[in-house]
């Protein structure tokens, strides 16, 4: 890394100690936009990099709530309002015991560039809590969401900051959060949250959007090598919102998704994942992937295992950060994988990315490949603002257009920067320039 950039990065390390995920995300962006940063003296003079890595506002708060035994529980809540250059802060809420300030900051940082790539006029933010929804009753989840919103409501609004779902936050949680927000502010402000259920402000195709968008992006990547998804065997990790609808769309495209996983282990189903059964287990019963394996004739469940050792053509990591390391990628390559597209945020470690790129795999980072979710959230905001409800087909068509636009922006930017086919550099540089140019125009703030 150039010495000036190294100094800025060292300063960020000092200012954000013990935040490994955030440091990882910052380093990846700096490294991939290095030539741009060195060439653009206007960015240097305006301290764009120094400003873009410093959140505009960081909110941390206590969430006290009572469980079903009336025991008082205490969790920590977060909302990082990272960058509002392009529009209101926008990004999901994650409820998972692994949530820390570092995790929420890396997610908020990534969100800035992802949201810029969608072309939708949304800034970057992220929030969440170390609350663990697993094993909690609906009433406990409701009480937690109400307590969480008690504080969060002071900081959000349809024109200020618009949260949505992420790990552990789906339509059930968004419902409880929205109900409490409405009660607190005494008005119906539909655009304050996205991922709402259809019928009270939600958009058709938002549930499907991240997984469907990921597969549209994957199809475009394969298209650059005159290839397609039809007939391909596809590894998917995770078993939540993104994984389920990625699998559904792979099947619509004629591919065969052969795996799922969760924090208890991995399932290999050589006959192809039965997506309706998976939806029933995960969306309705909130069960584990081992229950899926028990109900399928040839499926195998391996406790504490990853899916990456299974022979396949394509890999779509859809669970969580750093779930794919360098050895996993080596194993994938040995087993025939030709493409990795990130459904999760930052699922590949830096070492994993290096191996994938050195082997000339098609590799796309999450901020491009999984942008369909937040893009469709922005379409939900548009519907809310205009009191409209578009058809599934209309939303899906816009989603496809946005994903293909992001795909071609990544490729054209990579080409201009002299690294043709490098989606990582293309996505980071295109997203960065869009925000940086607008920051220059908005002055030193």
Question: Which active-site residues does the annotation give?
Answer: 126
Structure tokens at 400: 């496809």
Helical packing angle, 101-118 and 372-385, nearest 10°: 70
Q: Is 98 in the site for ligand NDP (CB under 6 A)?
A: yes
Which residue ranges make up the site for ligand 2IT (CB under 6 A)? 90-92, 114, 164, 166, 194, 345, 373-374, 377
Q: Is 166 in the site for ligand NDP (CB under 6 A)?
A: yes
Got the DSSP string for 377-390?
HHHHHHHHHTT---
With CB cut-offs between 5 and 8 Å by kind, which of ligand 2IT, ligand NDP, none does residue 343 bind?
Answer: ligand NDP
* 234/344 with CB nearer ligand NDP: 344
Instruction: Please report the beta strands in 273-358, taking only residues with DSSP state E, as ranges in sequence order.
Output: 300-303, 314-316, 339-341
3-state secondary structure of 91: strand
Q: Which residue carries 């597209």 as its tokens? A: 341
* 345/349 with CB nearer ligand 2IT: 345
Query: Which residue in the shown chain puts its C-beta closest to ligand 2IT?
Result: 92
Which backbone phi and psi does 167 adopt, to 5 degrees?
Answer: -55, 130
Whole-angstrom CA distances from 338 to 218, 238, 368, 415 are 11, 20, 18, 21
With CB cut-offs between 5 and 8 Å by kind, which of ligand 2IT, ligand NDP, none does residue 96 bind?
Answer: ligand NDP
Reference 212, options 165, 187, 244, 254; nearest CA is 244
* 103/417 with CB nearer ligand NDP: 103
Question: Least distance from C-beta 108 to ligand NDP, angstroms?
Answer: 11
Got the DSSP string for 153-164?
TTT-BTTTEEEE
Q: Is 255 in the site for ligand NDP (CB under 6 A)?
A: no
Q: Is 262 in the site for ligand NDP (CB under 6 A)?
A: yes
* 96/105 with CB nearer ligand NDP: 96
Question: Least distance from C-beta 162 to ligand 2IT, angstroms?
Answer: 7
With CB cut-offs between 5 and 8 Å by kind, which of ligand 2IT, ligand NDP, none does residue 91 bind?
Answer: ligand 2IT
- Which region holds residue 365: left if phi is over 0, alpha if psi is between -120 and 50, else beta? beta
Question: Least distance from C-beta 28 to ligand 2IT, angstroms?
Answer: 16
Q: How far apart are CA 117 and CA 87, in angstroms?
A: 13
Q: Are 63 and 129 in contact (CB under 8 A)?
A: yes
Q: Is 216 in the site for ligand NDP (CB under 6 A)?
A: no
For residue 280, give the DSSP letter.
I
Query: Which residue in the shown chain puts its C-beta closest to ligand NDP?
Result: 240
According to CB under 6 A, which one of 93, 239, 281, 293 is a site residue for ligand NDP? 239
**Vertex 22, ends 360 and 52: CA angle to 5°?**
95
* 19/111 with CB nearer ligand NDP: 111
Q: How many helices (H) and strands (E) would you count in the chain? A: 18, 13
* Binding segment (CB under 6 A) for ligand NDP, from list 265-273, 342-350, 406-414, 422-430: 342-350
Q: Are 343 and 366 in contact (CB under 8 A)?
A: yes
According to CB under 6 A, which one of 12, 318, 414, 435 is a site residue for ligand NDP? 318
Question: Least distance from C-beta 4 to ligand NDP, angstroms?
Answer: 32
Contacting residues toward ligand NDP, per CB under 6 A: 96, 98, 165-168, 210, 238-243, 262-264, 318-320, 343-345, 370, 373
């Amino acid at each position: 890394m150039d010495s000036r950039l190294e100094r800025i990065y060292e300063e960020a390390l000092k200012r954000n100690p013990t935040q490994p995920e955030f440091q990882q995300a910052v380093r990846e962006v700096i490294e991939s936009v290095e030539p741009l940063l060195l060439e653009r003296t206007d960015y240097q003079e305006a301290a764009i990099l120094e400003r873009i890595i410093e959140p505009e506002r960081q909110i941390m708060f206590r969430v006290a709530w009572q469980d079903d035994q009336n025991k008082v529980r205490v969790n920590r809540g977060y909302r990082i309002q990272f960058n509002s250059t392009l529009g209101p802060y926008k990004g999901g809420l994650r409820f998972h015991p692994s949530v820390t300030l570092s995790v929420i900051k890396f997610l908020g940082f990534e969100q800035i560039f992802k949201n810029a790539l969608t072309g939708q006029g949304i800034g970057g933010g992220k929030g969440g809590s170390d609350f663990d929804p697993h094993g909690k009753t609906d009433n406990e989840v409701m009480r937690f969401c109400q307590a969480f919103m008690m504080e969060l409501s002071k900081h959000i609004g349809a024109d200020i900051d618009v949260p949505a779902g992420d790990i552990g936050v789906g339509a059930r949680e968004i419902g409880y959060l929205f109900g409490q927000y409405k009660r607190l502010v005494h008005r119906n402000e539909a655009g304050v949250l996205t991922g709402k259920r259809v019928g009270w402000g939600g958009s058709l195709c938002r549930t499907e959007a991240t997984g469907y968008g990921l597969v549209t992006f994957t199809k475009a990547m394969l298209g650059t090598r005159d290839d397609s998804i039809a007939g391909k065997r596809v590894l998917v990790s995770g078993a939540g919102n993104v994984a389920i609808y990625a699998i559904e769309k792979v099947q619509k495209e004629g591919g065969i998704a052969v795996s799922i996983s969760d924090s208890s282990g991995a399932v290999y189903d050589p006959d192809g994942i039965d997506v309706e059964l998976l939806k029933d287990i995960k969306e309705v019963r909130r069960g584990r992937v081992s229950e899926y394996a028990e109900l399928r004739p040839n499926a195998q469940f391996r406790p504490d295992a990853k899916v990456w050792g299974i022979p396949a053509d394509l890999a779509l990591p859809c669970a969580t950060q750093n779930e794919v390391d360098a050895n996993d990628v080596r194993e994938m390559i040995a087993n025939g994988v030709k493409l990795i597209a990130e459904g999760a945020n930052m699922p590949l470690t830096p070492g994993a990315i290096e191996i994938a790129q050195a082997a000339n795999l098609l590799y796309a980072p999450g901020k491009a490949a999984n942008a369909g979710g937040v893009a469709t959230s922005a379409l939900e905001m548009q519907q809310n603002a205009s009191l409209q409800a578009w058809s599934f087909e209309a939303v899906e068509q816009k989603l496809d257009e946005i994903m293909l636009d992001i795909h071609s922006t990544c490729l054209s930017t990579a080409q201009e920067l002299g690294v043709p086919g490098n989606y990582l550099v293309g996505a980071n540089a295109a997203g960065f320039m869009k925000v940086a140019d607008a920051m220059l125009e908005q002055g030193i703030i």
